[in-house]
Structure 1
Amino acid sequence: MPGILLVNPFFEVLMQKYKIKPINYLPIYIKSKTVSYFCIRMNKDKQDIRTRWGIASKIVVIAVIVYSCASIGRPDGGAIDETPPRFIGSNPVADALNNTRTRIVLQFDEYIKLEGINEKVIVSPPQIQRPEIKPSGKRVIVNLLDSLKENTTYLIDFSDAISDNNEGNPLGNFSFSFSTGNVIDTMIVSGTLLDASNLEPIKGMLVGLHANLADSAFTSLPFDRVSRTDSRGCFSIKGIAPGTYHLFGLMDADQNFIFNQKSEAIAFFDSLVVPRFEERWRQDTMWKDSLTIDTIIERKYTHFLPDQLLLRSFTENYSERYLIKSERLTPNKFTLYFAGKSDTLPALKGFSFDENDAFVIEKTLKNDTIHYWLKDSLLYKQDTLKFALTYLYTDTLSNLVPRTDTLALAAKKIIEKNKEPDFKKKKKEKESEEQPEPEAISFLNINAQVASSMDVYGYISLMFDEPLQSYDFSAVHVRQKVDTLWKDIPFDYEQDSVRLRTFRIYCDWEPEKEYKFQTDSLAFIGIYGLHTDKMEKSFRIKSLNDYGAIFFNVAEVITPAFVELLNERDNVLRKTEVIDGKADFPFLASGKYCARLIEDTNGNGIWDIGNYEEQRQPEKVYYYNQLLELKVMFELEQDWNIKTIELDKQKPDELKKQKPNEDKKKRNTQTRNNR
């Protein structure tokens, strides 16, 4: 049966009839049968119950029963509340002068809540002790724990942290200010902060101003005025006094508003920042209806400048240097693992061996992982190697100083063998004497990476299990199938400058041709006397019909420069130098691509970070502003002026990992509509 709505007048009649004070209740939906039952019980109770308290207790019980049987819901109809809270007053008043109070109470016209206080709310000038900020009904209470500075404008920027308690409508860009002096400062500067390496917007990074123009201010003093970037990397510093400033960005790990840790990401603006304003006019349109304009009104407003400042963030090339661990997994090799980079290798001094020419050393570019291959069998047969290791170490003052440790490295396999019980050792020795196994011929393992279907620009990669004592590439053959015969073709090879056990072989491949890669035995001999066995790999080169190409005509580029071809995940696929304004990428598979250009100031072929002490900015990076969809057998020729589009608008949204926050009001509306 259809339900009816039980409302206040119904209960009021019952209360008056039984001479009972009304009680508070919620509107509820109940079925008509339940109402009839309720009325019958009430008539019966009138005859039986003699006191007001008895009747009241019955009504409470019945109300619980009715509520449990009711269909609870919210009445449909009525306008949805989309109005944010309205600021109606404060103590002290907004923009108060000569204020000395550290407790601020903000009053709103409805109950409010605070979201993301630590991420969104910021006080300027910055507070060393974090302020206490909490909601209380229709109020926000702020307690500033730092002492107030004289003749200073204080600004509490809430961003969109304040919203109404029910629907979550945000009060956007709300801030409150007061002054401890006779003047309230109102100047504003704004801009954008990006990651210098990939133009990614950085959220939650501090951006601050220093009136002290000494370079040391950034590393020794807190900011004078401060703000924080939003999800688009945008910032706006408010409440600034007229003057001249330096502008900085800081990912403040220790929350002291000072760049005092080399691990903190930073940004600095090369030029001085001078806040100013100008009067501008804008047009407001008054409409008669949705189609007809009534009046266009010109209104004057104050616009604050500069408003397009650009900061590029980076982390200086610094990390603490120390020895993480040392290990000797096999008798013939040990490895040292370091934190941080070093330009030099550590020095070893053997206690029971001569360290000169004792090793083949493999290292990484940063010298943070170093492999030592022991060349002498008398050396690697020792159970334990003891030596003094001298290396650069970061002390408590963050300086690199020499440090010497004594290491004793036992091979893991020897340790495991020594841990084996004696009876097991004797059993194995007896079994080997009774049934001696024939010696197996051991070869030096070679890992040849040869794709069965190779790209026309591909190469063959050879990797060995141990460093090589010698190699003979006359015993290596690359053969092409011509008709029914296999013909030797010339090739070039190179040894990797870092990974010494890796070689690459290059050929001028012909599309759609068949090839064989072959090695004779004894072509490669390792430092422990093992040699490679014969090997053969067959493969075919892809057709030109499997490829497309992208050609960039680059304008306004400062050479030297190079372009990196990127996939949809912003990963580098290829790199090419810009020559005469051109960057070409032939032989591409179908897919979506983008590109970024790096102005290679020092010509070393890599992107270099900046350094604040040297006042050196990171090398500039530019993005082609859209994804290119390439199909096979197609060529795309793109004109690319790297200066036409502003830097903060160049990187395509599809590549950005830091997505802009969805408009909160729009999100709340969608949530309500889905109820």
Structure 2
Amino acid sequence: MGQPDGGWFDDTPPVVTGSSPADRATNVSSKKVTIRFNEFIRLDDAANKVVVSPPQIEAPDIKASGKKIEVILRDSLIKDVTYTIDFSDAISDNNENNPMGNYTYSFSTGERIDTFEVSGTMLDASNLEPVKGILVGLYDELSDTVFRHKPLLRVSRTDSRGRFVIKGVASGKYQAYALQDADANYYYSQKSEMLAFSRRIFEPSAKPDIRQDTIWRDSLHIDSISRTEYIHFYPDDITLLAFTVPQTDRYLIKTERLDANRISLFFTYGNEEMPELRGLNFNSDNAFVIEASEKKDTIHYWLKDTALINRDTLEIELKYLSTDSTGTLVMRTDTIEALPKVSFAKRQKQIEMDFEKWHKEQEKLKKKDLPYDTVMPQKNLEMRINVPSSMAPDNNIYITSPTPLAKIDTTGIHLYSMIDSVWYRSRFEIIRDTAGMRTYILRAEWRPEVEYSIETDSMAFEDIYGLVSRPTKNGVRVMGNDNFSTLGLEVSGAATDTAAIIVQLLNSADAVQKEAKVMDGTADFFYIQPGIYYLRAFIDRNGNGRWDTGDYDKGEQPEEMFYYGKSVECKAKWDVTLSWALRDVPLTEQKPSAITKQKPDKERKQRNRNAERARSMGITYTKGL
């Protein structure tokens, strides 16, 4: 005895039984499309998966109801144009969620249906990552400025592999573009929009081809080989490199005074001309020590006078360059009130509480007849000296101060090296790090397998408030050459022999570990920690030492980026030598999958639950019976 289990599962996907207007109909004037199916269906994520072409400025209404899908176009129909509604893999049956597969419906407002297709791949120009969900389109107007004022002619969206297929293309000459369309106008109108453009002009074409499918019984035996005729559309190898133009419009984002002794300004973009600050309720002449970031988009004004630090409200007239509505930098004047996060009264209360705590501790020591202090010691300047227990010979020591320094007494800083169990003085220099005003680099000739001691006397560092540092002592051992690997590269494939190429050594997270400039066709990396690495290189077109994006208005593509297609294993004591021809492998195949962050989505496949059920019952299942 038992209970009925409901019989065989429905493992067949939905089938289109008809549509109005008919699929591939011509001379259509209706803006309502109804597609009917043989069973109840569902439509998954229509807003992102369903693409109507030509693009619709006013979003169409797309909904599934029972056994049909209705699409209502809100824009006026264009004369003599083929319309395509690409559903991708959004359609499945309602009960078992069997995917229908990629489905495209089309009609024409003219006498003919355009059937050409063009396809390709979209990559992020900075790291060759596939770009998912970006709009890709065509123009038949071959102007260098069309992308600025005219919507794309036909569109598609990229999948998780960065692949795109633009359907319903008429014969003619085209150029391809891409856009992360923030304002849904289908052309490039905002600097914040990721874009791509190509000056390649192509004409779509098609020819018969044969696709071979092999079904393997196991890893050694083939069950069957089938060959299917199909129409192969060209071009199918369009590669677009997407980038975002750097934000150069300058606006004041915010001002803040988190600490009582510092007023901070944050801009969207830096400028060599520094803002002007004038105190309205205090004398601002010589009142600040100015600290600016490397790009000068963040500026800190350190108050030097304690009396000003103790004031809760500082009224300031601020003059700075800002971008107006025409994109021009103009001088702007604002009035700000700089209020600290913690008021003077609360800070004083905290000081009193700290003193009371210290006093109680000294009273306890006094009662126990132990040494105690009668004067509360002044706080020290807490310098942060970044000294690892061991380091490579090509590294350095970084010293950071919490506040701007007034002076550094280099006679109070000592570097010793141990040779034959005897400590010797070693030469060094201290320079300011260009990336931060309060960070300094201690550089020396670090010798392999030598132990060093970095020692500072009291008062070696003094900040603008008179706080001085305490004595410190830090030891570090420089690792020997046998702990490292060396990598030598022979690089070829640049456009010209004089092109500047910078090679970057990457870890498994695609993060840069080291850089080397190609000199006379070679790039060398020394003192590499054992591990698995990857390589990329870019053509430093302007010679500034960093990768730069493109500019559509100037017709400039981003600087070319390349990836070495394999991982590189570096072991201790190994000298690794590789040859790398940058252009031998297409860009779409260069980046190793191990460090590609944009992984392909799991493919929706038809479920074969009946076959599994039949096996469990010991019978043979034939689909459709």
Q: Which one of the candidate residues 415, 420, 431 is aligned to 1:478?
A: 415
Deviations 1:607-655 (A, max 9, x none): 1111111111111111111222333333332221111111011111121
Q: CA deviation at 1:327?
A: 3.0
* Residue 407 in structure 1 maps to residue 353 in structure 2: no
Identify the residue that residue 468 of structure 1 maps to in structure 2.
405
On the 8 A contact 2:209/2:232 being kept in 1, the answer is no
Give the distance between the partners of 2:213 and 2:395, measured in 1 at CA. Answer: 63
Give the number of aligned pairs. Answer: 593
* SS of 1:493 mapped into structure 2: strand
Note the aligned Cα RMSD (angstroms): 3.3
User: In structure 2, how many angstroms separate the alpha carbons of the residues matched to 1:502 and 1:196?
Assistant: 33
1:491 aligns with 2:428: yes
Structure 1 283/173 Cα, relative in aligned 2: closer, same or farther at 3 Å? Answer: closer
What letter matches 1:473 in structure 2?
T
In structure 1, the partner of 2:472 is 535
Three-state SS of the structure 2 residue aligned to 1:664 is: coil
Counterparts of 1:462 and 1:567, CA distance in 2? 26
* Counterpart position of 1:600: 540
Of 30, 46, 51, 1:122 maps to 51
Matched, 1:615 2:555: yes
In structure 2, distance between residues paired with 1:588 and 1:670: 52
The answer to whether the 8 A contact 1:285-1:293 is kept is no
TM-score w.r.t. structure 1 length? 0.80
Distance in 2 (CA, whole Å) between partners of 1:574 and 1:178 is: 55
Could you tell me which residue of structure 2 aligns to residue 642 of structure 1?
582
Secondary structure of the residue aligned to 1:365 is coil
> Is 1:653–2:593 an aligned residue pair?
yes
- Residue 152 of structure 1 corresponds to which residue in structure 2? 81
Once the two structures are TM-superposed, the CA of residue 525 in structure 1 deviates from its matched residue by 3.0
**Alpha-carbon offset, residue 188 of structure 1:** 1.6
The amino acid that maps onto 2:121 is T
1:140 shift after superposition: 2.3
Query: Partner of 2:567 in structure 1?
Result: 627
Distance 1:214 1:284, change over 3 A: closer
Alpha-carbon offset, residue 157 of structure 1: 0.9
Match of 2:65 among 111, 128, 136: 136
Distance 1:406 1:640 in 2: 58
Residue number in structure 1 paired with 2:493: 556
Question: Structure 1 counterpart of 2:594, which letter?
Answer: E
Tell me how far apart the structure 1 counterparts of residues 455 and 238 of structure 2 sit (CA, whole Å): 60
CA change 1:129–1:391 in 2 (3 A) is same
Q: For CA contacts below 8 A with separation 6 or more, give which structure has more relative contact order.
A: 2
Amino acid at match of 2:556: R
TM-aligned CA deviation for residue 196 of structure 1 = 0.8
Name the residue aligned to 1:282. 210
What does the per-residue CA deviation read over 1:16-46, in whole Å, with 9 as the maximum and x for residues that have no partner? xxxxxxxxxxxx44xxxxxxxxxxxxxxxxx
Amino acid aligned to 1:634:
W
Report the CA distance between 1:568 and its aligned residue.
1.2
Q: What is the CA distance between 1:382 and its match in structure 2?
A: 5.0
Q: Is the 8 A contact 2:145 2:553 kept in 1?
A: no
SS in 1 for 2:148: helix
CA 671–444 in structure 1, closer or farther in 2 if over 3 Å, else same: farther
Q: Which letter maps to 1:605?
A: G
Q: What does the per-residue CA deviation read over 1:255-295, in whole Å, with 9 as the maximum and x for residues that have no partner?
A: 22122222111111122233233x344376999x9989999
The SS at the match of 2:257 is strand
What are the Cα deviations for residues 215-240 of structure 1, in whole angstroms up to 9, with x where unaligned? Answer: 34322222111111111111111111
Structure 1 equivalent of residue 454 of structure 2: 517
What does residue 235 of structure 1 align with?
164
Letter of the 1:246 partner, please give it: Q
User: Once the 2 structures are TM-superposed, how far is the Cα of residue 507 of structure 1 from its aligned partner?
Assistant: 2.2
Q: Which runs of 5+ in 2 are unaligned?
A: 364-372, 617-625
Q: 1:536 offset after TM fit, Å?
A: 1.7
Any residues of structure 2 matched to 1:50-449 within 5 Å, and which?
73-75=5-7, 82-277=11-206, 279-282=207-210, 302-318=231-247, 321-351=250-280, 355-377=284-306, 379-380=308-309, 382=311, 384-396=313-325, 399-412=328-341, 414-417=343-346, 437-449=374-386
AA aligned to 1:459 is N
1:166 aligns to what SS in structure 2? coil
- Any idea what SS the aligned residue of 2:605 has? helix
Gap runs ≥5 in structure 1? 5-27, 30-72
| Letter of the 2:290 counterpart | I
Report if aligned partners of 2:116, 2:170 keep a CA contact under 8 Å in 1: yes
CA distance in 2, matches of 1:286, 1:356: 81
Q: Distance in 2 between matches of 1:497 and 1:415?
A: 34
Structure 2: how far apart are the matches of 1:173 and 1:346?
57
CA gap 1:328/1:671 in 2 versus in 1, 3 angstroms: farther
Distance in 1, Cα, partners of 2:69 & 2:341: 64
Q: Contact (CA 8 Å) 1:320, 1:340: kept in 2 or not?
A: yes
State the secondary structure of the residue aligned to 1:511: coil
